[in-house]
Structure 1
Amino acid sequence: MWLSEDENQLRRDLQGVASDLRWSAVELLRIAEQLRLAGNDVDAQATQKLCELFQGDEERLAGYAEEVKAKVIRRTKAH
C-alpha cells in the first residue's frame, strides 16, 4: 500500500522523535553511570527512571509509525 505525502510525513516525524528519545535514553544511561560512580545514587536512580520513561515513549512512537505504515492510523489534510 502506498502512503500519501501527509502519511509519509507523519511516519517520518514519529520515527524521528522515537530516534531522538532512543539517543536521549542512551545519553541518560551514561550520565546515570557517572552519577553512580560519583556516589550520587539518588540522582542516578532518578536519571535511570527518566531513561525508562523515554524508552517506553520511544517504543510507543515506533509502534505508531508502524501503524501509519499499515494504514491503521491515517493523516488527512485539514479542510
Structure 2
Amino acid sequence: MWLNESENELRRDLQSVASDLRWSAVELLRLADQLRHAGNDADAQAAMRLCELFQGDEQRLAGYAEEVKAKAISRNKAH
C-alpha cells in the first residue's frame, strides 16, 4: 500500500526519534561503564535505568512506524 505524504512524514519522524533514542542509549551505556569503572556505581545504575527506558521507548516508536507502514495508523493531510 502506498502512504500519503503526511503518513510518510509521520513514519520518518517516528523512525528518526527511535534512532535518536537508540544512539542516546548507546552513549549512556558507555557513560555508565565509565562511571562503574570510576567507582560510581549509584550513577552507573541510574544511567542504566535510563538506557532501559530509552530502549523500551525506541522499540515502541519503531513499532508505531511499522503500524503506519501497514496503514494501521494514518495521518490525513492537513488542510
Task: Compute the TM-score of the two structures, normalised by the length of structure 2.
Answer: 0.98
Aligned length: 79
Aligned residue for 2:9?
9
The 5 A counterparts of 1:32-71 are 32-71=32-71
Aligned residue for 1:27?
27
Gapped regions of structure 2 (runs ≥ 5): none
Aligned residue for 2:77?
77
Secondary structure in 2 aligned to 1:54? helix
Secondary structure in 1 aligned to 2:71? coil
Stretches of 4+ moved more than 3 A in 1?
A: none
* CA distance in 2 between partners of 1:11 and 1:77 (Å): 14
Identity of aligned residues (%): 81
Q: Deviations over 1:19-67 (max 9, x none)?
A: 0000000000000000000000000000000000000000000000000
* CA distance in 1 between partners of 2:22 and 2:73 (Å): 22
1:78 to partner: Cα distance = 3.7
Q: Give me the CA root mean square deviation.
A: 0.7
Gapped regions of structure 1 (runs ≥ 5): none
Structure 2 contact 11–68 (Cα < 8 Å) conserved: yes
Task: Compute the TM-score of the two structures, normalised by the length of structure 1.
Answer: 0.98
